[in-house]
Structure 1
Amino acid sequence: MSLFWRLFLLNTAVLIAGAALLLWGPATVSTPFFVTEALILAAGLAVMLLVNAVLLRVGLAPLQRLARAMTTIDPLRPGTRPAVTGNGEVADLIRTFNTMLDRLEAERATSSAVALSAQEAERHRIAQELHDEVGQTLTAVLLELKRVADHAPDAVATALRQVQETTRGSLDEIRRIARRLRPGVLEELGLVSALKSLTAEVPPHSGLTARCHVDTDLPDLTDAVELVVYRVAQECLTNAVRHAHATRLDLSLLRSPTGVELRIRDNGCGLGSAPEGAGIRGMRERALLIGAELTLGPSPGGGTEVRLHVPVATKASTHG
């Protein structure tokens, strides 16, 4: 039955009940009416309106729940669906909304995969250019400075060696940036070595001490899963240094009953009430690509805890 006919029949039933009470009840209306008659009619009208309001509230409750779901559903936290309740057009509307969410989430995952793939390709290209062009140019400058310093007077040679040290520091920084853009250790040595290298390369001036623990019985992960886990860990380290002002960070990659879990805890200032930034949204986007669940919250010892739960996915099952 459509929503129109349901509401129409409910109102009809209320009006028929009111008319029946007037026909067969003891109340009468005279002309001019008495005060008691007006009070009786007012009480009857109030009862009819109350009954009508209750019936409409019950009939429209599924639409109100759907409206609340529309305002609270987060595209970056998929899987939440309003329950299909009600009858007729109301239930059809909720089913249509759930179908629309399924389609939007699938399209978002596809577009995010394309965008992130293009982003990784761009990072790879920039890292290659930094290594091949800027790195080689600075290396040539270092060699030339050394040659000139070897034949220069002592005062000039001292100044040139200072320039050498500055140039060498810039070259090391460029190489570090290139490694962050393109995790070569991830491609060559795997995820475990990449995570250990990531925590070992925290700049000393940041004041952050990072420790890494990895279980020895981890399942085989696909290249896409390893890259997402690495990028999430990388973003957490960056946030701990730049925003959380943490002094200690513990990174763990653990085996769970249904897959693997990346757990990162720091003792920084925490998330607070600030809205999620581009970094956290990027982590959520990456988690969606591999069907992982990302949660952020306060750490037991203060600070922030990030958990990335990845379902088991072997290379054979993915490529098969």
Structure 2
Amino acid sequence: MALFWRIFGLNALVLGAATALLLWAPVTVSVPVALTEAVVLIVGMVVMLVANAVLLQVGLAPLERVTRRMATVDLLRPGQRLSVAGHGGVPDLVRAFNDMLDRLENERATSSARALSAQEGERHRIAQELHDEVGQSMTAVLLELKRAADRTADPVLRTDLLHAQETTRSSLDDVRRLARRLRPGVLEDLGLISALTTLASDLSTHTGLAVHRHFASDLPRLDQPTELVLYRVAQESLTNVARHAEATEVSVRLDSAGDTVQLVICDNGRGIGLAHEGAGIRGMRERALLIGATLDLQSVPHGGLQVSLTVPLSPEGGSR
């Protein structure tokens, strides 16, 4: 039934009931109106308004559900659909809304895949340039400083050159570390476990955090996109811990259970509280959607935050 006829029918029902009551009930109106007659008319009008409001509330309830879902829907949390039954105006509207969410989620997933693929390509290019151009140039500068320090007889100048040499060596290490973060070559060469181990070791070395690692020995074989998503989620989570959590220790766990692989990063920091999810967390959600995984964030009882990425596996290996 169309929305117009639904509202018309509800009002007609109320007015028909009121008319039938006036026709068969022993109620009359005199001139001037008596007090009891006015009370009866006012009570009858109130009853009609209440009945009309209740019926309209029932009839328009699906529209209110659509309105609430429109205000809270998040394309990074797929599957938020409204239940629908029957046919006609309102049920068809709910179905159209669900179909619209399907199209938006598919388009969001496609555009995110293109954007993240372009991002990985750009990271690869920048890392290559840092390694091949900036790294080589700084290595040449480092060698020149060493030659100059070896040739000079002035102790003050020699000390300055050695200091400049150490500064250049430290900067070269930073450049190499940035190149590894942009393009995890160890992930491509040695696999996910080695890449996560290197990531955790670097974090512990540069921040002083105590990093506890637990990687299951019976992990199934994963395809390259799945390994890259797991690595990037771990990288972003550990970066957030180092920058914002004010934690003293963090654990990284990678387990397999049945047909799923789960990555869990848990710290003892101050947690996320009521803060809104930033670009980093939403980026992790977008990556999770690319492989059909589920990202969950929850506070832990002793304080801190636990990030869980659950990846469903296909029988052939890799994400579904």
Superposition TM-score tier, normalisation by shorter sequence? over 0.9
Return the letter of the residue paired with 1:242.
Answer: R
Runs of 4+ residues over 4 Å off in structure 1: 314-319
Structure 1, 278-287 or 149-158: larger mean CA deviation: 149-158
User: What are the equivalent positions in structure 2 for 1:109-258 lying under 5 Å apart?
Assistant: 109-153=109-153, 154-202=155-203, 204-258=205-259
- Is the 1:130–1:178 contact (alpha carbons within 8 Å) kept by the matching residues of 2? yes
What residue ranges of structure 1 are gaps of 5+ in the alignment?
A: none
- Is the 1:222–1:314 contact (alpha carbons within 8 Å) kept by the matching residues of 2? no
The TM-score normalised by the length of structure 2 is 0.96
User: What are the equivalent positions in structure 2 for 1:59-98 lying under 5 Å apart?
Assistant: 59-85=59-85, 87-98=87-98
The TM-score normalised by the length of structure 1 is 0.96
Distance 1:149 1:170, change over 3 A: same
Q: Is 1:312 aligned to residue 313 of structure 2?
A: yes
Please give the secondary structure, in 2, of the residue aligned with 1:274.
coil
- Is the 1:221–1:313 contact (alpha carbons within 8 Å) kept by the matching residues of 2? no
Tell me the distance in 2 between the aligned counterparts of 1:13 and 1:205. Answer: 75
Report the alpha carbon displacement of residue 166 of structure 1 after superposing the two structures with TM. 0.7
Encode CA deviations 1:103-129: one digit per residue, 9 max, x unaligned: 000000000000000000000000000
- Is the 1:222–1:318 contact (alpha carbons within 8 Å) kept by the matching residues of 2? yes
- Is the 1:284–1:294 contact (alpha carbons within 8 Å) kept by the matching residues of 2? yes
Tell me the distance in 2 between the aligned counterparts of 1:7 and 1:158. Answer: 90
- Is the 2:222–2:318 contact (alpha carbons within 8 Å) kept by the matching residues of 1? no
- Is the 1:221–1:315 contact (alpha carbons within 8 Å) kept by the matching residues of 2? no
Query: How many pairs were matched up?
Result: 319
User: What are the equivalent positions in structure 2 for 1:260-279 lying under 5 Å apart?
Assistant: 260-279=261-280
Report the alpha carbon displacement of residue 274 of structure 1 after superposing the two structures with TM. 1.3
Report the alpha carbon displacement of residue 318 of structure 1 after superposing the two structures with TM. 7.5
Please give the secondary structure, in 2, of the residue aligned with 1:21.
helix
Report the alpha carbon displacement of residue 61 of structure 1 after superposing the two structures with TM. 0.9
Percent of residue pairs identical: 61
Return the letter of the residue paired with 2:231.
Answer: Y
User: What are the equivalent positions in structure 2 for 1:274-293 lying under 5 Å apart?
Assistant: 274-293=275-294
RMSD, matched Cα: 1.6
2:35 paired residue number: 35
Tell me the distance in 2 between the aligned counterparts of 1:305 and 1:62. Answer: 36
